[in-house]
Amino acid sequence: MTPEGIANAVVSVLAAAGTLAGVTSRTRRRRNEIKENLALAEELQKNMILRDHTPAVAWLHGKIALDVAKLSGQPIGAPKKPIPKGSVVFASLLLVGFGGWTYWLNRDGFVWYSLVTGALAASMLISILGMTTNREIPSDAEGEVPEGAHPLGSGSASENAVASVAMSAMSSDGRFEDEGQLGVAFRFLRHMAAGEFDGALSLADENWLKCRIQSWLWNARALVGEDVAQLQATTDAMMASRRQHELWQAFSSAEVDAFQEAWGEIDPDRLGGASRRRRVGPDYDLVVLVPLGESGGYFVDSPTPVSGGMTFLMHKYDGKWLLANHLGIAPPLPGFPPTWWLVDDPSLEEFED
């Protein structure tokens, strides 16, 4: 082997060793960073302000998940537009042609008309760069969240992974489970939107049902009578006999129609629940459902008005969470008409100040 061949072999071996060392070093650094971030996440979990009022812990868990994905070789990254290979080849041929023409024109010295071919060659180069770089598909998430809110993900694979872990970290207290506060609210909404009155009724407390019956009787008093004592007796009879009562079918049909008219355009699968717990009294929690669009979730760090948001008051009774009010932030008060704590309740318009 010639000295030149030996030198080339040595260079190749050193280059391969350097590459391997670099990869190994990056892997080791990433492993160490994951370990350090896991320890930091445990420390952040102990800070009540950061844990309860910011998504800092969720962010860190999301970064850990992303680093683990990189470490294990999972494909991540923002979605990109495909490279138009035919256009790139055509532009490359024009670049070579106009570039060669420009060179030929200036072979004996600069001539001004070579600027035309040079400009055409430069435009082809810019076109190629435009087709092969910055191909990430922009996300519409920013335009779908309320003003002052920040999306957790942008639609890319990496940010969706972070958002998924972040949402799990912020909702790991059981409230999103089927029997949790938010889970019951979602199930009630789905039943009512689907016209399944009995299913929705199984998720509401007795006081809510009594007030719904009283509201219906009050609005139908021109047909059933205006005597309050008789209305109360009818309410008690309907509460006791339910389906066996002669007015139950009319009541349940009217309720389904009213809720479907109000909620018919709402898709429960495109709603999200506010992650912070809102306790308003012993065994009473307020939950908030908001439209997410394509954002996959967002967080707010200050009071933020949310268009299309829905609030539900949940009541823990006999170990189960039940709907207490779908309109106000306090349990409704029975009466004729009942008090729903709703501003500008139309049932109150005829009452004098």
**What percent of the chain lies above the pLDDT cut of 90?**
35
Looking at 165-169, 208-212, 229-233, 260-264, which range is the least confident one?
Answer: 165-169
pLDDT band at residue 10, thresholds of 50, 70 and 90? very low
Can you give the pLDDT at residue 23? Answer: 45
Can you give the pLDDT at residue 295? Answer: 53
pLDDT band at residue 250, thresholds of 50, 70 and 90? very high
Q: Which residue has the higher pLDDT, 37 or 316?
A: 316
* Res. 243: pLDDT tops 50: yes
* Tally of CB atoms within 10 A around 273: 22
* Res. 36: pLDDT tops 60: yes
pLDDT band at residue 209, thresholds of 50, 70 and 90? very high
User: What are the residues whose beta carbons fall under 8 Å from the beta carbon of 119, sequence distance 6 or more?
Assistant: none
Kindly tell me the number of DSSP H helices and DSSP E strands found in the chain: 12, 7
* Res. 152: pLDDT tops 70: no
Q: How far apart are CA 7 and CA 16, in angstroms?
A: 14
pLDDT band at residue 298, thresholds of 50, 70 and 90? low
Mean pLDDT of the chain, nearest integer: 80
Give the strand pairing for 149-151 and 271-273.
Answer: unpaired
Q: Which residue has the higher pLDDT, 54 or 37?
A: 37
Can you give the pLDDT at residue 320? Answer: 95
Q: Does residue 292 contact residue 272 with C-beta atoms inside 8 Å?
A: yes
What average pLDDT does this structure show over 195-215?
Answer: 95
Can you give the pLDDT at residue 245? Answer: 94
Residues 118-142: b if buried by 16+ CB within 10 A, e if exposed: bebbeebbebbeebeeeeeeebebe
Can you give the pLDDT at residue 44? Answer: 83
Look up tokens 């055409």; give the residue: 120
